[in-house]
């Protein structure tokens, strides 16, 4: 059966917008014909769908099928997805869980083989993937690339296991993603020449331009925690063939609000060339990774979207393999010439709604952790790093994954260092979730809590339990709340009232309806902010405070880590 669409067509290859008839048969585009404008009776523009060029689905706290239900509302038709979060918890079983669940919905997930599980030897993860495991994954058709090579010191020093993983990707003819924050000059050149093709970690224009000069492609990131779009947006106009867009980590409430479409709207509002913006958002990732995603060419899969305009990119309809995935108020009679398609669309045309159905999922997990006591959180003065009486403090930065390393006066009580809410120096701890071990402790600035605490098992990359709070009592209560659910996020207020969002899939994802999870997250996020935090996303910021591969100072379950020296403090 043939479907015909009559719209203003956005042709990104010819850089033209013109009235066209697009014909679909057997889920593919069979013809594109220019027509007279008078044949178009429906407003809107038909264009390729958006692709998130680097995202960890797990960070949405949703399983892939639920992520897809929300993403299609914003015109996203596919993702380049790194499953290393669940791989760090559940190994190969976790990667297969993501692939299998993603296949149950009409959405184009493109998963990579995690390159760094565990991310470093300085933390405890739930699994390990060696070069043989990675090579086996890369042999699968479902695996499209080698995920971000975070161990850039290993690349620079020709670590045998690291180089075997990169070589396996090259033999398989699959791209290698990079991860080298702050690396520039000769070291960046060496890293790139090892065969690493992208980086999404640039946080200054100078760093990005330097890497571009050596042939690397830059993925501009704007997620729930790391926000680099403002610093890097002009690259879209200056390097249109080498730029892509990504979210990296997107919390559920943020995903409900928008996705790559938001970045396109912001870029166009800055005066950037709309064709170059859409090339970065829709074409470049498909070409770079060799994705089976259509870009509005004859013979392509029928993957495309209809947007209200090319300024705000309000999505009216999303099609994947010719299947309409939204019910909207669009006039279907004027869009498709097939009566059966008209009636089916009209039946659900009262409001915009995802037509992807929820699918059941059986959780997988690794969790061996007993409740803790306040005494476990004590920080003896003699056991904490200090310089001339000043203690090491992590400075969290809103909208960034990097932190600063500070030395500030410590507050003492009963021969221990304790939180100081007046000066916003709070205790942060990491609890090993995989086996019994001493609690790792540090101090952190900029969370702003005057009372209470938050805890989370979403803690990149090993996903132990990370918590921060104003008092040991509150921290212990928040940690024990997520231990009770074997994974999740929690918040305890000054009155010992507790909210918990359980995440039974590896302590990272819920199996519930994505829109319900977004509402639950919104509530617990608001409670966390009510404790005094001015951070835009306290839980997302907390989740990166154990990410050792991002400088400058972080905390793993084994201790305080200096990212500049790549050693414990």
Phi and psi at residue 220, to the nearest 5°: -80, 125
pLDDT beyond 80 at 335: no
Which pair of tokens denotes residue 302? Answer: 């029928």
Give the CA count within 13 Å in the CB-facing half-sphere of 131: 11
For residues 388 and 285, what is the distance between their CA atoms, to the nearest angstrom? 51
For residues 424 and 420, what is the distance between their CA atoms, to the nearest angstrom? 6
Residue 455: asked if its preceding bond is cis (omega within 30°), the reply is no
Q: What is the pLDDT of residue 389?
A: 79
pLDDT beyond 60 at 252: yes
pLDDT beyond 80 at 350: no
For residues 524 and 201, what is the distance between their CA atoms, to the nearest angstrom? 28
More confident residue, 341 or 295: 295
Which pair of tokens denotes residue 293? Answer: 């995603």
Q: What is the pLDDT of residue 339?
A: 31
DSSP letter for 233, please.
Answer: T
Percentage of the chain lying above the pLDDT 90 cut:
91
More confident residue, 119 or 376: 376
Which pair of tokens denotes residue 89? Answer: 């918890």
The pLDDT tens digits for 73-104 are: 999 999 999 999 999 999 999 999 999 999 99
The angle subtended at Cα 565 by Cα 562 and Cα 567, nearest 5°, is 60
Pairing of β 108-113 and β 76-81: parallel
pLDDT beyond 50 at 136: yes
Q: What is the pLDDT of residue 420?
A: 97
pLDDT beyond 70 at 341: no
Among 4-8, 34-38, 347-351, 401-405, which is the least confidently predicted range?
347-351
Which parts of 153-258 are beta strand (E)? 176-178, 198-199, 217-221, 243-246
| Average pLDDT estimate for 111-124 | 95
Confidence of residue 328 (pLDDT cuts 50, 70, 90): low
Q: Give ranges for CATH 3.20.20.140 in the chain.
A: 2-354
For residues 45 and 164, what is the distance between their CA atoms, to the nearest angstrom? 46
Which class does domain 2-354 fall in? alpha beta
Q: What is the pLDDT of residue 124?
A: 97
Confidence of residue 387 (pLDDT cuts 50, 70, 90): confident
Can you list the alpha helix ranges (DSSP code H) found in 360-485? 472-484
Q: Quick check: 558 and 440 in contact, CB under 8 A?
A: yes
First to last CA, the chain: 66
Q: What is the pLDDT of residue 351?
A: 55
Q: Quick check: 146 and 173 in contact, CB under 8 A?
A: no
pLDDT beyond 80 at 337: no
pLDDT beyond 90 at 319: yes
Mean of per-residue pLDDT scores for the chain: 94
Write out the H or E segment, with its range, that includes residue 145.
strand 143-149
């Amino acid at each position: 059966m043939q479907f015909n669409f009559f719209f203003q067509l956005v042709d990104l290859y010819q850089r033209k917008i013109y009235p066209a008839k697009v014909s679909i048969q057997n889920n593919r585009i069979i013809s594109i014909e220019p027509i007279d404008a008078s044949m178009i009776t429906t407003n809107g523009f038909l264009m390729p769908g958006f692709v998130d060029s680097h995202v960890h689905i797990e960070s949405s706290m949703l399983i892939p099928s639920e992520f897809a239900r929300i993403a299609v509302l914003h015109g996203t038709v596919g993702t380049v997805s790194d499953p290393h979060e669940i791989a760090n918890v559940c190994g190969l079983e976790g990667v297969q869980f993501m692939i299998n669940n993603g296949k149950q919905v009409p959405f184009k997930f493109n998963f990579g083989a995690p390159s760094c599980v565990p991310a470093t030897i300085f933390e405890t993860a739930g699994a390990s993937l060696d070069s043989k495991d990675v090579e086996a994954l890369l042999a699968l058709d479902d695996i499209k690339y080698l995920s971000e090579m975070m161990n850039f010191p290993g690349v620079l020093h020709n670590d045998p296991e690291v180089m075997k993983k990169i070589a396996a990707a090259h033999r398989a003819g699959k791209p290698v993603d990079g991860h080298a924050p702050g690396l520039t000059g000769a070291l960046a050149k060496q890293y790139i020449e090892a065969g690493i093709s992208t980086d999404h970690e640039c946080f200054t224009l100078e760093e990005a331009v330097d890497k571009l000069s050596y042939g690397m492609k830059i993925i501009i990131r704007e997620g729930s925690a790391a926000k680099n779009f403002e610093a890097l947006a002009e690259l879209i106009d200056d390097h249109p063939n080498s730029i892509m867009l990504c979210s990296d980590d997107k919390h559920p409430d943020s995903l409900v609000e928008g996705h790559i479409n938001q970045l396109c709207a912001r870029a166009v509002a800055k005066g950037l060339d709309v064709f170059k913006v859409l090339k970065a958002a829709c074409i470049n990732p498909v070409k770079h990774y060799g994705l089976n995603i259509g870009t509005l060419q004859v013979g392509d899969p029928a993957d495309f979207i209809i947007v209200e305009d090319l300024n705000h990119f309000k999505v009216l309809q999303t099609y994947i393999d010719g299947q309409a995935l939204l019910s909207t108020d669009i006039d279907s009679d004027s869009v498709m010439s097939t009566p059966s398609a008209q009636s089916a669309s009209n039946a659900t045309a009262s409001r915009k709604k995802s037509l992807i159905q929820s699918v059941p999922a059986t959780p997988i997990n690794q969790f061996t952790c007993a409740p803790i006591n306040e005494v476990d959180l004590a920080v003896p003065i003699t056991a904490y790093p200090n310089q001339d009486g000043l203690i090491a403090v992590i400075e969290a930065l809103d909208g960034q994954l990097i932190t600063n390393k500070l030395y500030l006066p410590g507050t003492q009580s009963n021969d221990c260092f304790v939180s100081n809410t007046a000066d916003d120096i709070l205790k942060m701890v990491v609890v090993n979730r995989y086996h019994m071990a001493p609690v790792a402790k540090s101090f952190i600035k900029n969370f702003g809590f005057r009372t209470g605490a938050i805890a989370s098992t979403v803690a990149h990359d090993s996903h132990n339990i990370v918590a921060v709070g104003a008092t040991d009592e509150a921290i212990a209560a928040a940690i024990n709340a997520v231990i009770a659910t074997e994974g999740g996020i929690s918040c305890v207020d000054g009155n010992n009232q507790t909210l918990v969002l359980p995440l039974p899939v590896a302590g990272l994802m819920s199996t519930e309806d994505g829109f319900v999870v977004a509402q639950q997250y919104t509530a617990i996020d608001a409670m966390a902010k009510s404790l005094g935090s001015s951070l835009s996303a306290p839980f997302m910021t907390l989740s990166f405070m154990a990410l050792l591969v991002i400088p400058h100072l972080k905390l793993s379950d084994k201790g305080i880590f200096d990212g500049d020296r790549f050693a414990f403090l």
